[in-house]
């Protein structure tokens, strides 16, 4: 009975995004949002230390946060950007550029709670999230908050329609 091909269970194939693609997507988002944050802080505060969010390095005092509100505000803006876009579309601007998408473990749309958990680590605790994710790495290439949130980042495959340049689309006016 187990040898019968009709008994075989098939699963969907999900291609996990490479760390390099994820980094490039994050970097694109980081630059875009940092520019927006820099403009906002410039408009509303002359003391903004773009792009370091108030981190000071002093030989006598060591490393510290000069203006903690800058870090909290900047991280909150990143949090909102990522939660809104990843919940609505699964993609941010950076992810769209490199053709990757945030999904639940089955390739479907995650809940807003799952997205918020995953994004919290990326927005507020990224170094810790990445380091712990690498130490406790899984076969799904997840950061710690991705594991807790039950999300993965998958590579989007191009379809034949995407690559077919012989079709011209015309809008009906």
| Residue 31, in any domain of the structure | yes
| Residue 45, in any domain of the structure | yes
Residue 165, CA atoms < 13 Å, CB-side half-sphere? 0
| Residue 24, in any domain of the structure | yes
Strand, helix or coil for residue 64: strand
pTM of structure: 0.73
Angle subtended at Cα 116 by Cα 71 and Cα 105, rounded to the nearest 5 degrees: 135
Structural domain count, the chain? 1
- CA terminus-to-terminus distance, the chain: 60
Instruction: Note the pLDDT tens digit of each residue in 68-104.
Output: 677 888 899 999 999 999 999 999 999 999 999 999 9
CA distance 67 to 72: 9
70: containing domain: 9-157
| Residue 64, in any domain of the structure | yes
Instruction: Note the pLDDT tens digit of each residue in 2-58.
Output: 455 544 564 567 888 888 999 999 999 999 999 988 888 777 765 545 444 455 545
| Residue 130, in any domain of the structure | yes
| Residue 1, in any domain of the structure | no
């Amino acid at each position: 009975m187990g040898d019968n091909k009709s008994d075989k269970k098939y699963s969907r194939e999900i291609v996990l995004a490479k760390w390099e693609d994820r980094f490039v997507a994050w970097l694109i988002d980081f630059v875009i949002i940092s520019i927006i944050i820099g403009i906002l802080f410039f408009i509303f505060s002359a003391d903004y230390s773009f792009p370091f969010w108030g981190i000071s390095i002093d030989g006598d005092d060591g490393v510290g946060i000069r203006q903690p509100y800058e870090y909290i505000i900047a991280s909150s803006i990143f949090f909102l950007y990522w939660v809104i876009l990843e919940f609505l579309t699964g993609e941010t601007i950076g992810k769209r550029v490199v053709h990757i998408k945030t999904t639940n473990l089955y390739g479907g749309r995650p809940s807003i709670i799952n997205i918020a958990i995953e994004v919290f680590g990326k927005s507020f605790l990224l170094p810790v999230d990445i380091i712990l994710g690498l130490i406790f790495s899984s076969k799904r290439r997840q950061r710690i908050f991705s594991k807790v949130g039950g999300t993965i980042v998958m590579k989007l495959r191009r379809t034949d329609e995407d690559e077919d340049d012989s079709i011209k689309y015309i809008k009906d006016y």
